[in-house]
Amino acid sequence: MKKALAFLTASIMALGSLPFLSAGAEDAFAPGDVDMDGVLTGHDAALVSRHLAYGDNNLSEEQLKLADYNGDGVVDQTDVEAIHENEVWKLSDVDMDNDIDLDDAMAILQEYSYAVVGRIAGNLPPENAFTDVQKNLADVGGIHATPTEPTMDQAIVCQRVFTMESAGYCYAEIYPVVDGQPCYFFYNPYE
């Protein structure tokens, strides 16, 4: 019995001394996290939806692999629907309170103002800066595959979405439809 226990202990210690293999970059993000910010949000659904509708947001090969949410080898509307159903925050919900309202539009506008007056040059403290997740949520058109500074247009579109919801439009009526497929980005008339 002592020999068996000694053998088992030695085996466990030997396995513990083996180096761990690090995961590849493609394993670093969950399926559907297309913008690779660590959170499944409305921006991920917007990116894939825009890619299917227009193909103009330049998703990388790695992002397209992440867009295949169900792992069937094809990026299609089924993946978009699954990402949208599992998102933590809606597109344009930059204050992350699960409600799109004027506070979100004002936050986007304020962040845009910070960028314009010089935060990029280091004139304002970092606590005024949006996180990458917030920058992605502000990308209401699903245009940018990586975080970018918010724009005044994004604030206006966010306000338009809030106004339409307040007027009784459901979220599905606010999204555009392209080739019969519902999209999960907001149409920006200023693009």
pLDDT tens digit string along 96-116?
A: 999 999 999 999 999 898 877
In this structure, is residue 191 part of a structural domain?
Answer: no
pLDDT at 117 (0 to 100): 76
Q: What is the DSSP letter of 23?
A: P
Please give the tally of structural domains in the chain: 1
Q: Please check whether residue 13 lies inside any domain of the structure.
A: no
What token pair was written down for 174? 């606010």
Question: How many CB atoms sit inside 10 A of residue 69's CB?
Answer: 26
pLDDT digits (tens, 9 = 90+) for 112-156: 988 777 665 666 655 668 999 999 999 999 999 999 989 999 999
Residue 113 domain flag: yes
What range defines the domain where residue 85 resides? 29-182
Do the domain assignments include residue 14? Answer: no
Give a yes or no: residue 18 inside a domain.
no
Task: Supply the pLDDT for residue 128.
Answer: 61
d(CA 19, CA 41) in angstroms, rounded, equals 35
CB atoms under 10 Å from CB of 36, counted, come to 20
Residues 43-51: what's their mean pLDDT? 97
Least confident segment among 27-36, 59-68, 115-124? 115-124
Q: Tokens at residue 41, please?
A: 């949000």
Q: Provide the phi-psi class of 91: left if phi over 0, else alpha when psi is between -120 and 50, else beta.
A: beta
Q: Is residue 3 part of a domain?
A: no
Tell me how far apart the alpha carbons of residues 17 and 33 are, in angstroms, rounded to a whole number: 33
